[in-house]
A and B are shown apart, each in its own frame.
Chain A
């Protein structure tokens, strides 16, 4: 397995957000989604850059559409997860569960 097939924590987050947002995944909705579901402030620039990187890696694809007045008539760049992206997420989730199974019973140290 080559290095590029690993995903970073932030990349995984973005990829998941795109999957959640389905047909409405573009820069701003992702920023807002992350804020809403994770209570985490991320900058638009980090999101965009990560999106392009994921697209380069083949986990995302994009298309233009949905120009609105509030955007100054500019088109949105919608992202959609590819099969490779989905497989990757699945793989990461499985790998993590596998690891979780190997841990001893989770105990919190109180009393």
Chain B
């Protein structure tokens, strides 16, 4: 008999699900019945019956409920806390709405800023070899300087460099896996089946692009796409523009009207790449056109990127640069280079001639500060309102304590409440973000990926942060509340605790200070952006229409004729032809000019190629010498203009003195004939760099600049287009206004400004919510005082002043704190601009008065109401 036992597994199962008080007798009955069955019907049937009965016992009356047992006791308590929390949230609707609105706006702004910052930081990370991809930054010095062993500040280098360094690097460094070069953008007239457009962002590139950059490859064979000459790969955008839904692979595009390039691939560069191109033509094509520049260490037109193998250390490569230069480089011009990591390309590079727009670290810092400020303000609101309201909960706490609650469950109760509010706020915030995300993308003009937000890890982190935020915001109120002495409270001698007051005041000061800082920041950003926009660039760009013909051969052959045709129109004041216009891309050229002590000094200033009408068309000023002129036929080959910065570069403090000195540049020799006043041809982020202006030969021109008199631009444009079509049927009339294109450079700044303003306003709004809540509270607290004052004859203004005065004191302290901090932060930000507005007292005056006005207005909603109320209503309870 000893072996025959009821199935133990099911006994255990029964014990697990059954209510504890019922277990013993039922199990006893079960076991007794089991043995009776064994004797009468045998073991097998008895076992089955036992199991069957146990299964039949799974019924509502028997199964234990989830709560009420010892093990799950906390659950019951938490459930109760949540219930009480919900009740208290619902009971005080005004404060709950203030709290949730403030926190959710704060959280949403924070999240949006985070999305933006994350996007800025994500640049180039899509590349598989992100961590081991580098680029070459090069420095071109003057004749005779030996720079082999020099390491210059990175701002002295430029990303744009020569061609031969790429194969040389690969040969010299075994650590280098692959090298990829591409050129600067060229203009092409692209045609397919009668559709003809000018494409500006077309580059030549090596066939190794796929080894260095992980772009999305959509069609064709990446490995062979750019090997043969006359092949081109297109971005999806361009492929759709020309081919629509057709398959472009194997089709040919007519380039510049005379060459057929075969489309061998379709690709897409992710939006967060630090450079963008529309199409890439194989480098072998370029080599076919101009083989000589692939050996010229002084010819600059290439961006060089490479990947290292996994063991290599870029530092070792850097140390070998002098040796590399000794081996490969021998000309009389100084030259050196450095490596720059791809991770630094977007945000950390101050090298010149970037292949695309670079981001601004300062802006990111500024945004992060705004995010932190907003969140701080929102949390302060929460803490303030909760502590201020703590008196309303005093009785509840006292009763709980009398009934035996210890302090820690009380603290956890209030923490759960604040976590609940934070949680609601987070839900609302997520809703706001999903609505605001589209607008943010619109403002920034970039695609902002939010996929990462919805990964399980982010959600978990988000949840934890909400928890943390709730606990942090609720900690202080929880401690204050749980500390009340029940005896005092219940006896009725309890008054509003003075303990929380100093903290509440500090927090209000902090909140005022943050708001003032944000507003001052907003004012400074606004002022600086205006300053840049209105800064005298040194030339007149309004009403100048640029006709860009991309250096088209047929146009170039007829320049004089077209110029004359355009000038026939009555609205045209003057026409100039040049290679670049202000704000455009321009080359540099090795230029040797005689210094004051007679030496020939070689430097590499930027150059413009212009005609004699360029300077008058753009209203630039000559400070010394004369402009190019048709009456000096030698001007076309033996004359050079320079700007003031160039005069200084070659050692002339007085621009007059450089006039008449000898120069040689790109195969021309002659005299400097004049000095142009510095005009800002890049952007006001940087100082005016040295510039030499030479007379253009017809084949190097690319653009007409047409100065218009008329204000009726619409019809003039139409008429000019007709003239153009007549004169140049083969090339589209591709135009833009110079001032618009120049201002495009500031588009990023403008957008930054708009976003900054919006978030600042949101922050101040959140701060106002908090102030409003606090005002409601204090006025309620002082209702009796107000009543008595009124009975004794105080006027409405008098009472409003009394009520506001407390806040004004705090405001003054905040003002004193905010000004120096804001000054410091904003001067750091301004430092990234070469031309800075000054931070005047007006900025702070503005911020201070706005903050004061808005706070008084906010408070007045409640204070005036309180002051006008009927004292009998308030005092009748007494």
Cα(A49)–Cα(B52), bound, Å: 15
Contact with A along B621-664 (1 / 0, CB 8 A): 00000000000000000000000000000000000000000000
Cα(A77)–Cα(B30), bound, Å: 12
A residues in contact with B26, CB < 8 Å: 27, 44, 48
Tell me if B24 is interfacial: C-beta within 8 Å of chain A.
yes
Interface hits, B1-45 → A, CB 8 Å: 22, 24-33, 35-36
Please report the total number of A residues contacting B with Cβ < 8 Å: 22
Tell me if A90 is interfacial: C-beta within 8 Å of chain B.
no
Tell me if B57 is interfacial: C-beta within 8 Å of chain A.
yes
Indicate if the CB atoms of B28 and A71 lie closer than 8 Å.
yes
Indicate if the CB atoms of B62 and A27 lie closer than 8 Å.
no
Indicate if the CB atoms of A48 and B57 lie closer than 8 Å.
yes
Nearest CB on A from B504, distance (A)? 54
Tell me if B91 is interfacial: C-beta within 8 Å of chain A.
no
Indicate if the CB atoms of A70 and B31 lie closer than 8 Å.
yes
Chain B interface mostly = helix
Interface hits, B474-519 → A, CB 8 Å: none
Interface hits, A33-72 → B, CB 8 Å: 43-46, 48-49, 52-53, 64, 67-68, 70-72
Indicate if the CB atoms of A76 and B29 lie closer than 8 Å.
yes
Indicate if the CB atoms of B31 and A53 lie closer than 8 Å.
no
Indicate if the CB atoms of A45 and B53 lie closer than 8 Å.
yes
Contact with B along A68-111 (1 / 0, CB 8 A): 10111011110000000000000000000000000000000000
Which of B24, B33, B35 makes the CB contact (< 8 A) with A44?
B33
Tell me if B290 is interfacial: C-beta within 8 Å of chain A.
no
Indicate if the CB atoms of B61 and A49 lie closer than 8 Å.
yes
A residues in contact with B29, CB < 8 Å: 26-28, 44, 48, 71, 76
Chain A interface mostly = helix
Which of B24, B36, B62 makes the CB contact (< 8 A) with A48?
B62
Indicate if the CB atoms of A64 and B33 lie closer than 8 Å.
no
B residues in contact with A70, CB < 8 Å: 31-32, 35
Nearest CB on B from A18, distance (A)? 14
Nearest CB on B from A71, distance (A)? 4
Indicate if the CB atoms of A68 and B57 lie closer than 8 Å.
no
Tell me if A19 is interfacial: C-beta within 8 Å of chain B.
no
B residues in contact with A28, CB < 8 Å: 29, 32-33, 36
Tell me if A31 is interfacial: C-beta within 8 Å of chain B.
yes
Cα(A77)–Cα(B28), bound, Å: 9
Tell me if B56 is interfacial: C-beta within 8 Å of chain A.
yes
Nearest CB on B from A57, distance (A)? 13
Indicate if the CB atoms of B28 and A75 lie closer than 8 Å.
yes
A residues in contact with B35, CB < 8 Å: 70
The chain B residue with its CB closest to the CB of A56 is B61
Nearest CB on B from A58, distance (A)? 16
Q: What are 19 inter-chain pairs, A to B, with CB distance below 8 A?
A: A27-B26, A27-B29, A31-B33, A43-B53, A44-B26, A44-B53, A44-B56, A45-B56, A45-B57, A45-B59, A45-B62, A48-B57, A49-B59, A72-B28, A74-B24, A74-B27, A74-B28, A76-B28, A76-B29
Q: A26-B25, A27-B29, A74-B27 are in contact. List 10 more A-B contacts (CB 8 A).
A: A27-B26, A28-B32, A28-B36, A44-B30, A44-B57, A52-B61, A67-B28, A74-B25, A76-B28, A76-B29
B residues engaging A (CB < 8 A)? 22, 24-33, 35-36, 52-53, 56-57, 59, 61-62
List 8 A-B pairs, minimum CB-CB distance, nearest first: A74-B28, A77-B25, A27-B29, A45-B56, A71-B28, A45-B57, A72-B31, A71-B32
